[in-house]
């Protein structure tokens, strides 16, 4: 199963041709919503190299929280297809599918397309494969962007009291709050930050693991978690042990002139802070721990940024006191020099604690344009990490915990105190006489 972000570009596709002179038609098809995602004709040999493009590859744009199976189909041609004939057949198939459905895209029936190309294409599938893709932030963004709508979630995030407590406690300067009397506000009682223009999509993934902490065995099941500040339920520390995938999208897509919004050419800085010390009655916080810092992020390409502080996973030390990680996205006035950050953290980047206002002034950062956060609670993984990586002794961490003794007693059956995620079966099957091979490459 793959993310929609990974399949946004065309894969490398191969199959075994019957002869060196054989020509093929390739189709990529969404079998859940009956949508055509790619259409190539006159493919020589056993790959997409040299094909004629009728409908260029456009990856998944599923905005619904469901998994999607996609079919990759190869048909052998009886003769070379004129490109204009193929385009006409596709258009007529699209128009035929717009009747009798509420979908704004209509439905695309491959059988109708093959009937229109019957003189050129053998309708029997020669090669096929299925790939399942799960819903993610990128798919939601593509779906929303296509229909020219807006995404107001980040503005709602900025209305929450947790955010106001943090920005007031760390004394972020020049905050621009909405006024119900003079401007648009989502709520008459809670103003939002008007500088919010970007949705910071954050998704954590973790693999399965089994280990022992304080003489108790724990199990982590493979899963993923999409961060939303509106969800106050904490996730376990094991879920947040790896750096998350981050995707940026504009809040408003529909522009006054009818065009679609964009992030623009300005760079951004993303800083991830442990804001747990900030309470609704405590404003004496001076420095916060930095768990991740990236600078010079351009547009939605998060990987274009420079990692200044490597990701440090949160380590909650008390079941009743989760760690709150807040993702703050700042607009930059121009490119910044990452090397200048060292003066703010003389004790080392992995143990960095700083005043956010010092970072703002050192790099001349502008407004907060995006925010998101989550809460991470103690689990078996974080318990063990305290005495294996955080400098504490096992006895100091474990003494008083149920089941702990030194030495440990005989192991008990597994106690699943870790993060429960989804169990992901692998979809493996052969639909035709041969297997279509697909390769995806992603940036590390």
Percent of the chain at pLDDT exceeding 70: 77
Domain positions in the chain: 2-137+425-439, 148-398
pLDDT tens digits for range 135-178: 666 676 676 666 555 677 888 888 888 898 899 888 888 898 88
Dihedral of CA 412/417/418/422: which sign? positive
d(CA 40, CA 44): 11
pLDDT of residue 181: 40
> CB neighbours of 90 closer than 8 A, spacing ≥ 6?
36, 39, 54, 55, 113
pLDDT of residue 292: 96
d(CA 85, CA 356): 61
- pLDDT of 406 > 50? The answer is yes
- The helix (H) or strand (E) run that includes residue 92 is helix 83-96
Using the structure block, give the residue that is written with the tokens 């500040």. 229
pLDDT of residue 43: 96
Residue 223 phi, psi (nearest 5): -170, 180
CATH code given to domain 2-137+425-439: 3.90.280.10
- pLDDT of 222 > 80? The answer is yes
Which residue, 440, 405, 411, is CA-closest to 6?
Answer: 440
d(CA 328, CA 316): 21
Structural tokens at position 427: 């979809």
Half-sphere exposure of 185 (CA within 13 A, CB side): 15
How does strand 23-30 pair with strand 35-44?
antiparallel
Calculate the alpha carbon distances from 398 to 146, 313, 402 in Å.
Answer: 53, 20, 9
pLDDT of residue 431: 37
Percent of the chain at pLDDT exceeding 90: 37
pLDDT tens digits for range 157-169: 888 888 988 998 8
pLDDT tens digits for range 343-382: 898 777 777 899 999 999 999 999 999 999 999 998 889 8
Calculate the alpha carbon distances from 328 to 37, 141, 231, 367 in Å.
Answer: 35, 20, 17, 10
Which top CATH class is 148-398?
alpha beta
Q: Same fold for the domain at 2-137+425-439 and the one at 148-398?
A: yes
- pLDDT of 223 > 50? The answer is yes
pLDDT tens digits for range 271-290: 999 998 876 445 556 789 99
DSSP string, 241-281: SSPPEEEEEESB-B-TTS-B----S-EEEEEEEE-TT-BTT
> Is there a contact between 73 and 96 (Cβ–Cβ < 8 Å)?
no
pLDDT of residue 214: 92
């Amino acid at each position: 199963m793959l993310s929609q972000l990974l399949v946004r570009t065309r894969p490398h596709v191969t199959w075994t041709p019957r002869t060196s002179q054989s020509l093929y038609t390739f189709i990529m098809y969404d079998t859940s919503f009956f949508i055509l995602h790619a259409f190539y004709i006159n493919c020589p040999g056993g790959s997409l190299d040299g094909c004629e493009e009728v409908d260029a590859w456009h990856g998944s744009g599923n905005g619904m929280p469901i998994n999607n199976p996609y079919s990759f189909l190869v048909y052998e041609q009886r003769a070379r297809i004129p490109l204009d004939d193929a385009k006409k057949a596709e258009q007529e198939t699209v128009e035929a599918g717009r009747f009798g459905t509420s979908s704004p895209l209509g439905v695309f029936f491959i059988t109708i397309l093959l009937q229109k190309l019957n003189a050129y294409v053998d309708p029997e599938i020669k090669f096929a494969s299925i790939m399942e893709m799960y819903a993610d932030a990128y798919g939601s963004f593509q779906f929303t962007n296509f229909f020219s709508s807006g995404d107001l979630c980040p503005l709602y995030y900025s209305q929450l009291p947790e955010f106001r407590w943090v920005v007031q406690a760390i004394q972020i300067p020049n905050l621009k709050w909405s006024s119900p009397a003079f401007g648009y506000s989502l709520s008459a009682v809670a103003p939002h930050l008007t500088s919010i223009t970007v949705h910071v999509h954050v998704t954590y993934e973790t693999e399965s693991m089994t280990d022992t902490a304080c003489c108790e065995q724990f199990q982590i099941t493979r899963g993923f978690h999409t961060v939303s500040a509106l969800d106050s339920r904490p996730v376990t520390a094991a879920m947040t042990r790896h750096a998350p995938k981050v995707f940026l999208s504009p809040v408003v897509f529909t522009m006054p002139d009818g065009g679609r919004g964009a992030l623009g050419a300005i760079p951004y800085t993303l800083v991830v802070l442990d804001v747990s010390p900030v309470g609704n009655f405590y404003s004496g916080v001076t420095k916060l721990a930095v768990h991740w810092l990236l600078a010079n992020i351009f547009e939605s390409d998060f990987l274009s940024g420079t990692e200044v502080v490597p990701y440090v996973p949160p380590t909650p030390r008390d079941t009743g006191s989760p760690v709150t990680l807040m993702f703050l996205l700042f607009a930059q006035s121009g490119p910044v020099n990452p090397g200048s950050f060292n003066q703010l953290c003389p004790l080392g980047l992995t143990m960095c604690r700083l005043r956010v206002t010092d970072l703002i002034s050192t790099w001349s950062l502008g407004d907060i344009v995006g925010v998101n956060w989550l809460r991470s609670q103690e689990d078996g993984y974080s318990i063990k990490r305290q005495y294996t990586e955080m400098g504490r002794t096992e006895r100091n961490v474990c003494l008083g915990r149920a089941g702990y003794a030194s030495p440990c007693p005989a192991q008990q059956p597994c106690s699943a105190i870790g993060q429960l995620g989804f169990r992901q079966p692998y979809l493996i099957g052969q639909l035709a006489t041969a297997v279509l091979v697909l390769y995806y490459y992603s940036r590390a």
